Copies of this chain bind each other. A is one copy, B any other.
Amino acid sequence: MDETKILLPESQIPTHWYNVVSDLPAPPSPVLHPGTKKPVTPQDMLPLFPPGLLEQEMSAERWIKIPDEVREIYRLWRPSPLYRARRLERALGTPAKIYYKYEGVSPAGSHKPNTAVPQAYYNKIAGTRRIATETGAGQWGSSIALACKMFGLECTVYMVRVSFGQKPYRKSMMQLWGAKVLASPSDQTNAGRSILARDPASQGSLGIAISEAVEDAATHEDTRYALGSVLNHVCLHQTVIGLEAREQLKIAGDYPDVVIGCHGGGSNFAGIAFPFVADKAAGKAVRIMAVEPTSCPTLTKGVYAFDYGDTAQMAPIAKMYTLGHDFMPPGIHAGGLRYHGAAPLVSLLAHHKVIEAKAVGQLACFEAAVQFAGTEGIIPAPESSHAIRAAVDEALQAKAEGKPRTILFNLSGHGHVDMAAYDDYFAGRLEDFEYPAAKVQESLKHLPQVAL
């Protein structure tokens, strides 16, 4: 077995998603309505999400069938390759084996289409005509635009104004796939107009963009909302990553000692990790590690508590690790890792120590990404570089101990559309940022009071 890339035929695209709810160490907490603070009902959510997705959001079934129409589109890029990073291993002089699952092969260049496609599908069969969503850096917006195009849905993306200006290529990708892209705050929603009235020069935030997209969906009969991370059904869809990786490692005759994913809202991490959580629940010895930026240390410095999903306190309240819903992270380049909260499922697993978490500074991440690009060739997305940093650290530790170790990480996307971040790194314009504990304490004073 000396392949660089371990490939699977399309017949081995998973037939079912794996639902980690069936293997949790404790029952998940209910999600609460932001107004009543009572558990949300499917009726509350039906204006926003189609029945197929709501069912998955609430499901405790272990395996959920992937519709043929979704697998048909997955075939455009799945199964994604599993690489053995031999050139990186040699450069590090490590006895460790490093494997990475590469999700940058999707048309949008990241793992996001794994959930965008089923989200568009379930909307299509529910009669949705248009999807409204928000995007920060643009990875999610471009993926849902692609998926809507595939199923003939219209798509409106509220893009955080600062990214709208700074990430023109992502905006162009959305437009190419037929989406209407609006800089948020926009004048199309009450939420947007009220922000603009107070601050006409507002650069926007993900929280504001979420408010706009949700309002758009809630006030239009034929329109529903879509979210690219955090929610149970999003994590569910991403499990194709880990399911494939496990099969590919079998072909290589290997099993990981440690499984690593970068962590923002939690979806790419859940994708690589959850199938190994199942193994761990069944008694396998495997470490599972979420890697986040020190500038947004949700899992390592936040608290496990009920909090709003968004800044505007309009999204449901969920039990999760949070830095406080009014937390404002600094403008690091890994735009996908700047969420104040974390997926409730990931949070529960972290709280019960099924998974571990680690925070890394962005300079060390870019350093690892540059070494990776120089050995393996692929230019990583800034988000993915966090997983690389942790994988390299594991490999160096194995070297220091003189012991073998098998490392698997998820390379969630390529960085061709994020080259400005590398420019800033090489020009010395980036610095590390440790989020001050006192500031977290301040944010945490604003957590909602709930009866549970």
Please report A residues at the B interface, Cβ cutoff 8 Å. 3-5, 7, 9-10, 73, 75-77, 87, 105-107, 109, 146, 149-150, 168-169, 172-173, 175-178, 370, 373-374, 376-379, 414, 416-417, 419-420, 422-423, 426
Contacts and interface: CB of A to CB of B under 8 A. Distances in A.
Nearest to A427: B175
Contacts of A149: 374
Contact of A373 (B176, B373, B414): B176
Contacts of A173: 379, 416, 419
Contact of A168 (B4, B178, B423): B423
Given A178-B374, A373-B177, A379-B107, A416 B419 contact: no
Contact of A7 (B9, B109, B176): B9
Contacts of A177: 373-374
Nearest to A108: B377
Contacts of A377: 73, 76-77, 106-107, 146, 150
A410 to B, nearest CB: 18
Contacts of A422: 172, 175-176
A279 B73 CA distance: 34
Contacts of A376: 76, 107
Contacts of A10: 3-5
- Top 8 A-B pairs ranked by shortest CB distance? A107-B377, A172-B419, A4-B75, A169-B419, A416-B416, A76-B377, A149-B374, A172-B423
A105 B105 contact: yes
Contact of A420 (B9, B73, B109, B168): B168
Nearest to A152: B374
A115 to B, nearest CB: 15
B175 A426 contact: yes
A423 B164 CA distance: 14
A288 B378 CA distance: 33
Contacts of A4: 10, 75-76
A370 B176 contact: yes
Given A169-B169, A176-B419, 12 more contacts: A3-B10, A4-B76, A5-B10, A76-B378, A169-B416, A169-B419, A169-B420, A175-B426, A176-B422, A176-B426, A177-B374, A417-B419
A372 to B, nearest CB: 10
Nearest to A74: B4
11 contacts: A5-B76, A107-B379, A146-B377, A150-B377, A168-B423, A169-B416, A169-B419, A175-B423, A175-B426, A176-B379, A417-B417
A107 B378 contact: yes
A373 B423 contact: no
A335 B17 CA distance: 43
Nearest to A4: B75
A106 B379 CA distance: 11
Contacts of A172: 419-420, 422-423
A87 B117 CA distance: 15
A75 B376 CA distance: 10
Contacts of A168: 419-420, 423
Interface-central residue, A168, A176, A423, by most chain B CB under 10 Å: A176
Contacts of A423: 168, 172, 175
A373 B73 CA distance: 13
Contacts of A105: 105
A281 B332 CA distance: 58
A251 to B, nearest CB: 11
B420 A417 contact: no
A22 to B, nearest CB: 31
A3 B77 CA distance: 11
